[in-house]
Amino acid sequence: MTQSDPIFRLEGVTRRYGNLTALNGIDFVAEDNSYIALLGPSGSGKTSLLRVIAGFEAPDTGRIWFQGRDITDLPAHERGIGFVFQNFALFPHLTIFENVAFGLRNGAIKVPDAEIIDRVRASIDMVGLAGLEDRNPDQISGGQKQRVALARSLVMQPKLVLLDEPLGALDANLRERMQTELRTIRERLDVTFLHVTGSETEALAMGDRVAVLDAGRIVQYDTPDAIYDRPIISDVALFLNRFNLFEGTLKDGRFHGPFGAAPVSSVRANDTDVYAIRYDRTRIFDADSSELPGPALPVRYLASEYLGSSIIFLFETADHKTVEVDHHLSLGEPRNLSVGQNYILSWDPAQAIVFGKEAAQ
């Protein structure tokens, strides 16, 4: 493998299950060691993609390269790619130590016993489970099982580890802690993690770069900031759960939506006309305000949600769509709103993102 070979590369990968196309001609290049998050709603094909890279399933068309080698025809056990399962998949009939040692003991290359013991101990230490080696999988907690699964894969020193919703089975508290640990471990070991998740907060928090998967295609691959600021199509914006989205018509440089007409400076190509403004860029005004920064959207106040560092205010438009305003508490005290009262939401039109059928202007 030369210096310039990407860690892995997919070309034209398609995978169908009967009438359902899970992967639709995926092209993807992962340049160097990093933490890659693969984000997509359920049914987007993200688990299929992982399984195809791992070799548990074969693509209908397309090729897969790993470290410069074409591995499309290689069986899973010859690929040298680690996999961490959502349900952990620990071997129930073996102790924790033997679980982690399994690959070393039963692989194609004979590893001397002393080396096995050393490497397994080191791996178990690294995930913080020292002392639990002799327990059985049914005697440890979910979070600990996840670490065992991780240690088991990492002890084989793979260059790429695939993680299939690894934090999905953990409770919220544990999930946050594991997120930090996963990043730390990866950085220490100089290995690429491809982490699949359906949670946009998780993907944006963990990935050095995020690949957004939608209906079997990778629609955007960028840093979390870039995706968050500049979603490439309205579906990505929808999925990120950070944007208020409005349907309407784009005509002559103006977008006509439930807030009236708003001026539009640039348009991204999209299947439909969609107007997007971030929750935290939408601001609340009294119903009779005259000094508005931009378009005026009449709404009725419903309720608020306290999220720790910010408050989400929920409003309802005239046609019963929900609109959210995210007020970060560092910006000052939130307003006191009365339930059922009418208000007006407005924003700086320059901060809006407009998607349109005709990428005009």
Partner 1 sequence: MESKILKPILAVYVGLFILFLYGPFIVLSILSFQQGPEGGPQFPIIEWSTYWYQHLFGLTPPSRIAPLPVGEALVRSLTLAFMTMVTATVLGVMAAQAFRKRFRGAGVVFYLIVLGMMVPGVLTGLGTSLLANNVVGIERHWWSTAFLAHVVYTFPFAFLVMLAILNRFDGSVEEASWSLGVSPITTFRKVTFPLIFPGVLSAMLFAFTLSFDEFPRTLFASGRDQTLPLAIYGTFSVEIHPNIFAFGVMTTLFSFALLAVYGILMGLSVRRAKKMAMQEDIA
Partner 2 sequence: MSAAIGKRQKATTFQLLAPGVVWMILFLVAPIMMIVYVSFWTQTTFAINSTLTLDSWRNFFASEAYVGALWTTIRLWLIVLTLTFIIGYPAALYVGLMVKSKTVATVLLVLCVIPFWTSFLIRVLAWRPMLGKEGAINIILQKVGLIDTPIEVLLFSELSVIIGMTQIYVVFMVGPIAFMLGRIDRNIIEAARDLGAGFGRIFWKIIFPLSLPGVVVGAIFVSVMVLGEFATSGALSGRKVNLLGNIIVTQVGSLKWAMASVVGVILTILLGIVVAGFLRIVDLKREI
Give the per-residue contact string, 56-85, with partner 1 (x = CB under 8 A; - = no).
x------------------xxxx-xxxx-x
Give the per-residue contact string, 135-164, with partner 1 (x = CB under 8 A; - = no).
-xxx---x--x---x--xx--x--------
Q: How many Cβ atoms sit within 10 Å of the Cβ of residue 289? A: 12
Residue pair 232/199 in contact (Cβ under 8 Å)? The answer is no
Cα 268 from chain centre = 22
| 11 contacts partner 2 (rule: CB under 8 A) | no
**C-beta closer to partner 1: residue 95 or 304:** 95
Choose from partner 1, partner 2, none: what does 293 bind? Cβ within 5-8 Å by kind.
none
CA dihedral 75, 80, 85, 88 (to 10 degrees): 110
**C-beta closer to partner 1: residue 88 or 243:** 88
| 279 contacts partner 1 (rule: CB under 8 A) | no
For residue 38, list its beta bridge partners: 196, 211
Question: Which H or E run contains 349?
Answer: none
Apex 46 CA angle, 23 and 6, nearest 5: 85
Find the binder of partner 2 among 6, 24, 31, 58 (CB under 8 A): 58
| 9 contacts partner 2 (rule: CB under 8 A) | no
Q: Three-state SS for 90?
A: coil
Least Cβ distance, residue 262 to partner 2 (angstroms): 50
Beta strand 353-356 pairing with 274-278: antiparallel
d(CA 53, CA 90): 21
**C-beta closer to partner 1: residue 98 or 176:** 98
CA dihedral 94, 100, 104, 108 (to 10 degrees): 70
> Which 71-100 residues touch partner 2, going by CB under 8 A?
72-73, 75
| 48 contacts partner 2 (rule: CB under 8 A) | no
User: Taking contact as CB under 8 A, which single stretch among the options 130-138, 189-197, 200-208, 251-259 is the one that binds partner 1?
Assistant: 130-138
> Which 197-256 residues touch partner 1, going by CB under 8 A?
none
d(CA 234, CA 212): 12
Phi-psi region of 72 (alpha: psi -120 to 50; beta: other; left: phi over 0): alpha
The DSSP letter of residue 156 is T
User: Taking contact as CB under 8 A, which single stretch among the options 29-37, 100-108, 121-129, 173-181 is the one that binds partner 1?
Assistant: 100-108
Interaction site with partner 1 (CB under 8 A): 54-56, 75-78, 80-83, 85-93, 102-103, 106-108, 136-138, 142, 145, 149, 152-153, 156, 169
* Chain residues that interact with partner 2, rule: CB under 8 A: 58-60, 72-73, 75
